[in-house]
Amino acid sequence: MKFSTSIRHFQDTVNKVTQAIPAKALDPRYENLHLSLDNGSLTLFATDGDMSITAITAVESSENGHVGMKARTILDFLRSMYDTSVTFAIERQQLSDQGIMDISTDKGLYKIPCTLESKQEKKDKSFSLELTLPVKDLSDIIQKTIFACSVDGMRPAMMGVLFEIENNSITAVSTDGHRLVRCRKPCQSEVAEKQKLVIPARVLSILQKLMDDEQVTVSIDTTNNSVRFTSGNIVLDAALIVEQYPNYEAVIPLENDKNVRVERSLLYDSVKRVGRFSSIGDIRFSIASNSIDLMAENTNEGESAREGLPCTYEGDDITIGFNSKFIEAALAHIESDAVTMELSTPTTAVILKPADEKEERDLIILVMPVRINN
């Protein structure tokens, strides 16, 4: 088995595929990068058992073969190299399935142990639903939702993003119990009834780095609880989270009658500055007629901060506290020039949304308040 390519061309593909391999693989089966050569087509494959990434790239070869090697070893080698042409040749050791991969460049010869493998049998998948989305839409959904996913292993459903697919829209929801994001995008899919699936946040984070085409095809296998994303020459397969997702609609307040409109960048910058002065990470919003006062203090160190901002508000005065990091993250993921805050009482969840009429239908971010000491 022998093939030639360039270092950078090969490295780009290896970088993408090896993202399926965790930093610390507890099972040695999931440490390898698998290569399948079929004349001038090289297929690379890596998996952690729950997620796999496959990529096909062109190389110079007229041979066939299948080999596996330590992913970290070949990746470290490629990262240390300059861009040049490279030839990979595999030699079998006598009476063994082990081999040596000879790597030759214009300046050197390198040897890496490898394992000769039989051809991997492809498992047929039966996809019950398939839809195509613009990469920019799916990337936007991921960027606006995964920051609010839980990292608590005791709540596995909330460690993913809920996708609800209907005939003319796709709704993505994430929550960690303290905040919630709901993002909607239009899509065309033929479904008899609403489809729900929960995709792990890690899968979506990796997918965001892999998509390099204008379109991505999403294929769902409800029988085996798996999903496939296809973008260009990259295929990502992943297991879905099967635990029931919380009823998120029940926690979205419908009676928030106080509306505050404020310039997003001004509020974001003030929250970043003032929030740094809090000893426990909270920040106080005192909202009055056409003004917001932001306050935080560190009583242990005698530090405090207070800033005032103009806003559009005509309701009763209200003082409410938040985790400053949650408000900061919410504002960072809203792209409009102005933001609307919908409130009711100091103990009711607050809804933040873009002030733009079109965008406010597509994105809402809910943040639970925190108790503040007077």
**206, 222, 250 - which closes a domain:** 250
Q: Same domain, yes or no, for 269 and 360? A: yes
Asked, for residue 313, whether it belongs to a domain, the answer is yes
Instruction: Give CA–CA dist 266/309, Å, rounded.
Output: 8
Confidence (pLDDT) at 257? 92
**3-state SS, residue 20:** helix
pTM: 0.91
pLDDT of residue 14: 97
In a domain, 121, yes or no: no
**DSSP secondary structure letter of residue 75:** H
Per DSSP, what are the bridge partners of residue 278? none
Hey, how many other C-beta atoms are within 10 angstroms of the C-beta on 84? 11
What CATH number is attached to the domain comprising 283?
A: 3.10.150.10
**140 and 245 inside one domain:** yes
Which pLDDT score is estimated for 94? 78
Q: How far is the C-alpha of 133 from the C-alpha of 236, rounded, in Å?
A: 15
Sheet with 318-323, side-by-side order of all strands: 303-310, 291-298, 282-288, 318-323
Q: Are 163 and 83 members of one domain?
A: no
Question: Domain containing 262: what range?
Answer: 252-367
pLDDT at residue number 266: 97
Q: Is residue 16 part of a domain?
A: yes
Q: Per-residue confidence of the chain (374 residues) as pLDDT tens digits?
A: 899 999 999 999 999 999 999 887 678 889 999 999 998 999 999 999 999 999 999 999 999 999 999 999 999 999 999 999 999 999 988 778 899 999 999 999 999 999 998 777 666 678 888 899 999 999 999 999 999 999 998 999 999 999 999 888 899 999 999 999 999 998 877 777 889 999 999 999 999 999 987 899 999 998 899 999 999 999 999 999 999 999 999 999 988 999 999 999 999 999 999 999 998 899 999 999 999 999 999 888 889 999 999 999 988 999 999 999 999 999 999 999 999 999 999 999 999 999 976 666 789 999 999 987 65
Task: Verify that 99 and 72 share a domain, yes or no.
Answer: yes
CA torsion through residues 126, 16, 61, 67, sign: negative
CA neighbor of 344 nearest in space, from 262, 260, 270: 260
Both structure tokens of 259: 């509306």
pLDDT value at residue 360: 61
Residue 92 makes CB contacts below 8 A (sequence gap 6+) with 98, 99, 116
CA neighbor of 226 nearest in space, from 242, 247, 214, 210? 242
What whole-number distance in Å separates Cα of residue 161 and Cα of residue 148?
Answer: 9
- Strand bridging mode 160-165 / 195-200: antiparallel
Q: 326, 294 in Cβ contact below 8 A?
A: no
Q: What is the per-residue pLDDT for 342?
A: 96
Tell me, yes or no, whether 11 and 30 share the same domain.
yes
DSSP 8-state assignment for residue 328:
H
Domain count, the chain: 3
- Going by the DSSP 8-state scheme, the letter that residue 248 receives in this structure is G
Residue 316 within a domain: yes
